[in-house]
Chains A and B, each alone.
Chain A
Amino acid sequence: MSSESHEQPTDGVAKPTSDELATPARNDIEPAEPIENPGLPEHLPRPTDVDPKLEKRAERQVAGMFTAAIILTIGFCVAYFAIPKDAEIFGWFSLNLALGLTLGGALFLIGIGAIQWAKKLMNDHEVIEMRHPARSSDDDREAALEVLDEGVSDSGFGRRPLIRRSLIGAVAILGLPAIVMLRDLGPLPGNKLFHTVWRKGMRVVNDVSGIPLRPGDIEVGQLVNAQPAVFFETDSHGHALFHGTKLLQAKAKASVIAVRIRPEDIKPRKGQANWDVDGIMVYSKICTHVGCPISLWEQQTHHLLCPCHQTTYDLADGGKVIFGPGKRPLPQLPLAVDAEGYLIATSDFHEPVGPSFPEVNQHRD
């Protein structure tokens, strides 16, 4: 991996020959270099080379830094045991500050000390090493080809195409198991991306308290973060129906927002005319761009802005995208009021929620 290094006779001024200078040929006539390479400049001694006092001082500096590093490292150990974990200073975690400053300081000083040593005290005579072309010598190339030839012809790899081809085939097809075995990385999507937990008659509840929403709870211009009631329900043993990963997966699709807009401002999408209740509309909270939950609401303009990539929806206009990189309108949940006066869904979303995927515009049940 390495090449020989010839250190040139080192009285510095090694006059290079003119062919050492890189000048692409121009019509095979090398124009002379405007100024000839003057060779390495004379080495000038550093102050520490000529003044023993300065040399001693540099030595003390280096050793001083290394010593300070020792002290700081001991300080690190003391701080580790002495400072309680929850102590704070100026709003900082004292332990983190103390450990970081001592450890960082010690490391930094060791580094600076070593560099100072190299710069002030170590020999600073520049050394010249010759380069060699990266390629191998012609001899090596020929010899390599020869032994390669020998090896290949010994094997008969070239002479026996039957063996060669079947071997290549056998090894190549091994790629198949490598791919096939990845099949169980996950299930197939099936219809999962087309459905959420919303069902006919499921109440719309406040996302934090789980209290069902009534039309009177939402004023014009207001936005309420909501969830399907099923997330707050328990089974007969008192365990939540949805928890852990299952809850997160369901929430990633079923989260909604409820807004109230003056009915006369609403321009519903085709076929969604009666999906509101007195101007209250429930939309998916999941952006159709890459799936961030959307919540920046401008009540004057009834625009909803996604904080991630600024796709902006007009909720009065059927959730249409009016700006940004998202394309599909925000899916709306058809809404009604049940016998007790609470907001309920009349069905699941009629279209997939969340980021687009290749089958998003297919119709599946």
Chain B
Amino acid sequence: MTETASPTATPLKDTNFGKKSAGPVEWLDDRLGLAGVVRKNIRKVFPDHWSFLLGEIALWSFVVLLLTGTFLTFWFQPSMAEVPYNGSYEPLRGLEMSQAYASTLNISFDIRGGLLVRQIHHWAAALFMAALMAHMLRVFFTGAYRKPREINWLIGIGLFAVGLIEGFAGYSLPDDLLSGTGLRFVDGLIRSIPIVGSYLEFFVFGGEFPGELIIARLYMAHIFLLPGILLGLIAAHMLLLVYHKHTQWPGPGRTEKNVVGYPMLPVYAAKAGGFFFVVFGFTALMAAVIQINPIWTYGPYNPSEVTAGSQPDWYMGWVEGAVRIMPNWEFTIGPETFSLNVFIPAVLLMGLLFTVLAIWPFFESWVTGDKKEHHLLQRPRNAPTRTAFGVAGMTFYGICWIAGGNDIIALKFNLDIFTITWLARIGVFVGPVIAFIITRRICISLQRKDNDAVLHGYETGIIVRSPEGSYAEAHAPLPTDVAYTLTARPRVPELTAPEAEDEDGVRNPEGRKARLRAWAKRFFYAHDVDKPTREEVVESEHHFHDEVYPPHDFPDDFSGVSETGVPKHH
């Protein structure tokens, strides 16, 4: 592999373009002195993997949101003043409605391209949260949050939390019947906050619900405060990514000390830059053919009306579900009433999720005692307990999310809604436990499978009959690259019980804490299958020579045969 320029290329400074731009570039560098930064970063290496794309989708959909959102502000009027509608949507003409709703109708029907941009904006928001969460799961399940990236993980949690609120603020703005119902929910949620609930309600809404200020206040948060925070967090997230350099999957030539991939200029400039257009184009195509939030069918907000099947945007669905399945715990102590039926699922639960997510990297490193830097990712199977925790969390989230649509499920599948609710109530506790056990067992089995493949080779698909007449499938050793990749993971550490007493019989003052930690560590690594030792691998190589169909008779690029006997290739 020679230096990357192809032999026919002329150096940039000798091309026409180079000669013309030399002057301006010099002028700029005389003032900004950026050559050092360019030298260090322009060929920065990024590793390639499909899962690294998820965060990029979130990033680009955020840019799409900024662009389309700016367009929408040209016409949207964040006012709750009631005006009669006289735009071009016939069925609502003459009706009294808020200016917010009327201007949203105006954007949808009277501004050319307004509906398209509104729908791109809404789809991009749904995509932003989806990509963000998928990215977070990728980072979690591969252990990418480990040292030195814990702070970037926390920034990511911040993005997640602010993104949820930003999305909610956004879909509350049109002041249609659906978004007003969402605000009514928030009103109930704020009221449920112990002691100060009703005061907070009056402060947030500027008086009694719905008041005339909430849309303007949410608008400020939605277009200024929260995007500003998001932008700052994203900038920090990216800077840290550049500083730490991207994690990579283990493989031949890839180590903890290097990063192998393609340079930013030109490969990632083209791939990532192109990907922005793909994301923007994709959301625009969705906006062209898939309707989202047709506010004109809902009508203006009216606190005495609601449509059956009212649902929040998807990323709020799990909170909605938790609120639905919560038992009706509400009690009064002295003069104060505590509405735990709302406060626990709508306020505490979200706080709990973010807290658990934020604490996890530090908790894991405390349990494992691992204080090293990690730049090689782990396959989910190689950290079975972490993976099991993650899947248990996803199960909890998923059951809550399903419960958020219990009425739709009851309707579509003709089931009893109370039964579904009860199943979900039980499921949120039982489901994660079952998911944990099953996931951990699957991971451990997959570790065994990997070890098997390393030690016993892969199944070739060739059935051999021995002289005695028995049939067996011939195995062949994995190519070295594949075998190496399967074993490129940390060993399971040795688990020892902490000393309760030292040799003089003095009790270890740290005894209880150390024992707890040892127990947690044992739990974390329990049943993990360690990778084979060198001796085992050497030993296994001899086996292949004893086989009835010795694999060294296979051609070099042979990698087994398919069910129909056609040779496959690695």
Interface set of A (CB-CB < 8 Å, partner B): 1-5, 7-8, 10-14, 16, 20-24, 26-27, 31-41, 43, 80, 85-86, 93, 95-97, 99-101, 103-115, 117-119, 122-131, 133-135, 182, 185-189, 192-193, 207, 225, 227, 243-245, 248-249, 251-252, 255, 285-286, 289-293, 295-296, 307-311, 321, 323-328, 354-362
Contacts and interface: CB of A to CB of B under 8 A. Distances in A.
Interface string B292-313: 0000000001111111111000
A252 B303 contact: yes
A131 B242 CA distance: 11
A313 B302 CA distance: 22
Interface of B: 1-6, 37, 40-41, 43-45, 80-82, 88, 96, 109-110, 112-113, 115-116, 119-120, 148, 181, 184-185, 187-189, 191-199, 201-213, 239, 242-245, 252-253, 255-263, 266-267, 270-271, 273-289, 301-310, 320, 323-330, 332, 335-339, 341-342, 345, 370, 372-376, 406-407, 417-418, 421, 454, 480-481, 483-484, 487-488, 490-491, 493-494, 531-534, 536-537
A20 to B, nearest CB: 4
Contacts of A359: 198, 335-337
Given A3-B40, A41-B253, A192-B208, 16 more contacts: A20-B255, A22-B256, A24-B490, A104-B286, A105-B281, A108-B277, A111-B274, A129-B260, A134-B243, A134-B373, A291-B185, A291-B188, A308-B185, A357-B197, A358-B198, A361-B335
Contact of A107 (B201, B284, B320): B284
Contacts of B301: 248
A36 B484 contact: yes
B257 A130 contact: yes
Given A188-B199, A310-B407, A100 B43 contact: no
Contacts of A126: 1, 260-262
27 contacts: A21-B488, A24-B372, A26-B494, A39-B253, A40-B260, A100-B119, A103-B281, A111-B281, A112-B278, A114-B270, A124-B262, A127-B261, A128-B253, A134-B244, A186-B202, A186-B203, A252-B184, A292-B181, A292-B185, A293-B304, A309-B324, A310-B417, A321-B328, A325-B326, A327-B328, A357-B339, A358-B191
A326 to B, nearest CB: 6
A360 B338 CA distance: 9
B191 A356 contact: yes
A110 to B, nearest CB: 4
A13 B244 CA distance: 24
A119 B275 CA distance: 13
Contacts of B310: 292, 307-308
B337 A310 contact: no
B187 A293 contact: no
A182 B203 contact: yes
Contact of A103 (B116, B148, B239, B262): B116
B271 A118 contact: yes
Contact of A244 (B81, B148, B193, B336): B81
A110 B274 contact: yes
Given A131-B258, A310-B407, A10 B487 contact: no
B274 A118 contact: yes
A26 B493 contact: yes
B252 A38 contact: yes
Contacts of B326: 325
Nearest to B263: A127
B449 to A, nearest CB: 16
Contact of A114 (B2, B195, B277): B277
Nearest to B273: A114
A117 B260 CA distance: 21
B258 A129 contact: yes
A115 B341 contact: no
Given A2-B242, A31-B491, A118-B274, A39 B252 contact: yes
A8 B332 CA distance: 71
B541 to A, nearest CB: 11
A80 to B, nearest CB: 6
A364 to B, nearest CB: 10
Nearest to A189: B198
A245 B208 CA distance: 10
A134 B307 contact: no
Nearest to B311: A308
B304 A207 contact: yes
B243 A85 contact: no
Contacts of B45: 5, 127-129
A100 B494 contact: no
